[in-house]
Amino acid sequence: MDLTNAKKIMTVVGARPNFMKAAPIINAIQEHNKRLSTSPAALGPHGSQIALQSVLVHTGQHYDEAMSDRFFADLRIPKPDVHLGAGPGSHAVQTAEIMKRFEEALLREKPDVLIVVGDVNSTIACALVAAKISYDVSGSRPFIAHVEAGLRSFDRGMPEEINRIVTDHLADLLFVTEESGIKNLRQEGIADHKIHFVGNTMIDSLVAFRDKAGLSPILSTLGLRAGKGSSGLKNGVVRYALLTLHRPSNVDQRESFLSILEGLQDLTSLCPVIFPAHPRTQKKIADFGFEDFFHHHCETRDGSKAINDVAKRRINMIDPLGYLDFLCLMEHAAVVITDSGGIQEETTCLGVPCVTVRENTERPVTIEVGTNILAGTSASGIREATRRQLESKREAAIPETWDGRSAERILDVICSELARHDASLFASVDR
């Protein structure tokens, strides 16, 4: 397809959660152009006949190239068109570095639409640059679209909360994942015409790759497939728990981290606890002298990392996993303990009990209709929440519009806005 006159959509990613949220949008652009080239009339009205050019920017906020490459491969994301290579730093240093480098890319590419996703430093940095940019003397700039808008924990101590609020107030199009987001944005004075309830693109990825994740060898690699005569839970898989911890408020402070680990001791006596740990978290474990809580599984000569008796009553720490392996582990877990926002959503969609090791959540729908409960960070709270979830017979529902088609809805809105903008330009010329 000739993209000479196409509208340019720039999508920004920087950290692993961004990849799962952005991948369906990039794929939807590709599918849109395929349909347009084969059957333009079938796409219908509202600007859907506009050709689109996708430009992918990776800020390099998460600077582990091997992990980024693995996620890109698992999610079938094309190689980034622009890689800023911002790297690590404090919130101020990293945000400033991304802004400096992104401004050059934005002025060079001059996209019609900028899509930012989630609530990481890359999100706010790129939205802020686009809001202040001027392509020409008339002050033209791209539409700013925020995917996953309106989520609020009401905890300004979380850096992500600041990122969410500021980005939402800079954005022209706010794409909301759950009804609480609509309420929050209205209460902050955001105009209704900017707010669009489209669903959850992270769940789009889950729906698209769930079957493929089921083919992952990770359960066998970790020795979690039940042997003959074993009382495995389902599909021949032994009972196990999955743990993720990464939030600085949980792992950077010794007392908080210790409280969480003590709260997990009862669980380790009931079943294996699998912990894919980021290298940064592994370093904190060593710095705090917490090695006795863990058994670190290294890959053996035959490629296995099987759980064994040595790890009894200790958390089984493994290296970080790609998207497909992790999704497979999550789907078959008896319970997931996490401080991640996205995992609260994914477990709700999968129907897997989730214990969130935080005092609040910006995703209340996962508690109201999903499988999630808040435990706080005290040892007693974690023990009680984990016990309740292991015994729970609760039937969860999948939230409204979490149906795997959110990216299509986002693209429909964007195309409509682009068509409306072009129409207003033509009208002003005619006058």
For helices 159-170 and 121-132, angle between their N-to-C axes, nearest 10 degrees: 30
Cα separation, 220 vs 311, whole angstroms: 17
The DSSP call for residue 190 is: -
Pull the structure tokens for residue 102. Answer: 């992104």
Question: Is 278 one of the catalytic residues?
Answer: no
Instruction: Give the ranges where 188-301 is alpha helix by DSSP (H).
Output: 201-213, 218-221, 248-251, 254-263, 265-270, 279-288
- Other beta carbons within 10 angstroms of residue 381's beta carbon come to 18
Catalytic residue among 46, 83, 169, 246: 246
Residues in CB range of 149: below 8 A, 6 or more apart: 164, 167, 168, 171, 174, 175, 176, 181, 185, 195
Give the helix, strand, coil percentages of the chain, each rounded to 5.
50, 15, 35
Pull the structure tokens for residue 16. Answer: 């692993």
Mode of pairing for the β-strands spanning 372-374 and 335-338: unpaired
Provide the residue count of the chain.
431
DSSP line for 349-389: HHT--EEE-SS--S-THHHHTSSEEE--SSHHHHHHHHHHH
- Is 98 in contact with 106 (CB distance < 8 Å)? no
- Residues that are catalytic: 246
